[in-house]
A = this chain, B = another copy of it.
Amino acid sequence: MTLDDIRAAADRIASGIVRTPLLTCTWADPERPLWLKPETLQPIGAFKIRGALNALARLDEDARRRGVVAYSSGNHAQAVAYAAASEGITAHIVMPRSTPQIKIDNTRAHGAEVVVCGEGEREKVAYEIVAERGAVLVPPFDHPDIIAGQGTIGLEIAEDMPDVDVVLVPVSGGGLASGIASAVTALLPNAKVIGVEPELASDTKESLQAGSIIEWSIEKRNRTIADGLRSQPSELTFAHLRSRLHDLVTVTDDEIRSAMAVLARKGRLVAEPSGAVPTAAYLHHAAELPAGRTVAVVSGGNVDPALLSDVLTRSLDEED
């Protein structure tokens, strides 16, 4: 992943994304001033739109006619559906039967053809569509075009704040962290990009310590409330994370909930649990982080309203 790849991605996706501003936090520790990068403001409420738009823009005419396929129950599904619609490409989205109806409806509303399948059959069904129709699979993170698209966030941070010291990014499949770390370390050699994982899905922390990918069962990773951070890196993203992340810290589910409340109450942002993970590290793990000017990426805002309401109510109870 080179800076040129990421710059080319930025040009390709410029008209389809929101160039999110950095938001000053008046409530932050003055010794460690904080800015938020609110990817919650993207059209589908999450950063995934960047990688999806870049991957689709790279398709040739033939591939565009055949359409694309993605398997996802989360933000990647929405992103591919939305990006395909805006490019006039047919999208098939494979979603497991357990997907909440609202997410299926939203994906259909973006004009995608939703294929509902049994649990654990998503990949198989997606590859059947690839075989039958010649459609192109758009993977959620394991592809250079996806990584370059997500990396445009790092480009924007470096442009807007050339004296940033610390950038906090969530880690799951590693596409976002790989892209941001590639852009930021290339442009600002003194800035430190630090990955943040839920403790309950901290396979990448263990893998980085071991120096190779350690598998965690999906049951084990599914324990965390951060439903967007239950994937594992691929060989491609893991290689980026090993060489370009300065460090990786983990946060508890309670810390994630607390960060969601702070983001809503003081940052006026609706964040989903996965999107609040970097802010949780800022708030609860100061001792493990370098000092200085800090940016926390708020990666997505697609949260169950009942959970948001609950988090807000509890934060008031704790205050009393």
Report which A residues bind B (CB closer than 8 A).
18-21, 23-24, 26-27, 38, 40-41, 43-45, 82, 109-110, 261, 264-265, 268-271, 301-302, 305-306, 308-310, 312-313, 315-316
Question: A93 → chain B, closest Cβ, in Å?
Answer: 15
Q: How far is the CA of A272 from the CA of B30 in the complex (A)?
A: 27
**Do A41 and B26 contact each other (CB < 8 Å), given the known contacts A269-B269, A313-B309?**
no
Q: How far is the CA of A308 from the CA of B301 in the complex (A)?
A: 16
Q: Do A43 and B24 touch across chains, with their CB atoms under 8 A apart? A: yes
Q: Do B301 and A312 touch across chains, with their CB atoms under 8 A apart? A: no
Chain B residue with the shortest CB-CB distance to A19: B21
Q: Do B269 and A268 touch across chains, with their CB atoms under 8 A apart? A: yes
Q: Do B268 and A41 touch across chains, with their CB atoms under 8 A apart? A: yes
**Do A21 and B43 contact each other (CB < 8 Å), given the known contacts A26-B82, A265-B305, A316-B306?**
no
Question: A269 → chain B, closest Cβ, in Å?
Answer: 7
Q: Do B268 and A268 touch across chains, with their CB atoms under 8 A apart? A: no
Partner among B27, B40, B264, B310 whose Cβ is within 8 Å of the Cβ of A308: B264
Question: A83 → chain B, closest Cβ, in Å?
Answer: 12
